Amino acid sequence: MTGRPSLRIGVLALQGDVREHIASLDALGVDAFGVRRAEELERCDGLVIPGGESTTMIKLARNFELLEPLRARVAAGMPAFGTCAGMILLADRIVDGAEGQETIGGLDITVRRNAFGRQVDSFEEDLPFAGLADPVHAVFIRAPWVERVGERVEVLATAAGHPVAVRQEHLLATSFHPEVGGDARVHGAFVDLVAAR
């Protein structure tokens, strides 16, 4: 893939594998940077929402006065890519969430938190991924899965009989951590999505 230095892709820098996502995006030749403030979000052509702890991340987003700007940008069509907890934050509905747990929303899915189990149940698996010739090495860490998808949602990969990678228009989400392991193809698919917008 050729570099796209004119694209500015932020990584929500409240918690999680921020550096790893930035490194994956840097390898693809885009301008990647951390986002903690609304003014940094305004610079973004697209945004990666990394893994972490979804309830903590939403509280931090509110504390940093980012939650409403995030919702507004996603609703207005800014491409976003959520991984693990980031998938939960983009989901419209959560099963087994904390009481009153909020999301950014926009992705017409129902997601189950910690569906694959606790930290000790983490695992790795090579998964066929729609649009990619070879399987993706997927690392699952306290990962969610998708219980229901809306009619506009495309399932890109499954594990244990459940969707673990989905796309809906300008939104992409994976249950697993594509920033781990040096394979930037899923990030490349997101960069292409951003470029197409």
Residues 126-141: tens digit of each pLDDT: 999 999 999 999 999 8
- The string of DSSP codes covering 131-193 is T-SS-EEEEESS--EEEEE-TTPEEEEEETTEEEEEEETTEEEESS-TTSSS--HHHHHHHHH
Closest CA to 170 of 149, 154, 146: 154
Residues annotated catalytic, as ranges: 84, 177, 179
Write down the domain spans for the chain: 8-196
Q: Residue 186: phi, psi to the nearest 5?
A: -70, -40
Q: How far apart are CA 129 and CA 44, in angstroms?
A: 26
**pTM, 2 dp:** 0.94
Is 3.40.50.880 the CATH classification of the domain at 8-196?
yes
pLDDT of 1: 44
Q: Determine the average pLDDT of the residues in 19-35.
A: 96
**What pLDDT, on the 0 to 100 scale, is given for residue 2?**
47
In tens, the pLDDT along 71-121 reads 999 999 999 999 999 999 999 999 987 788 899 999 999 999 888 877 666
Measured CA to CA, the distance from residue 25 to residue 162 in angstroms comes to 27
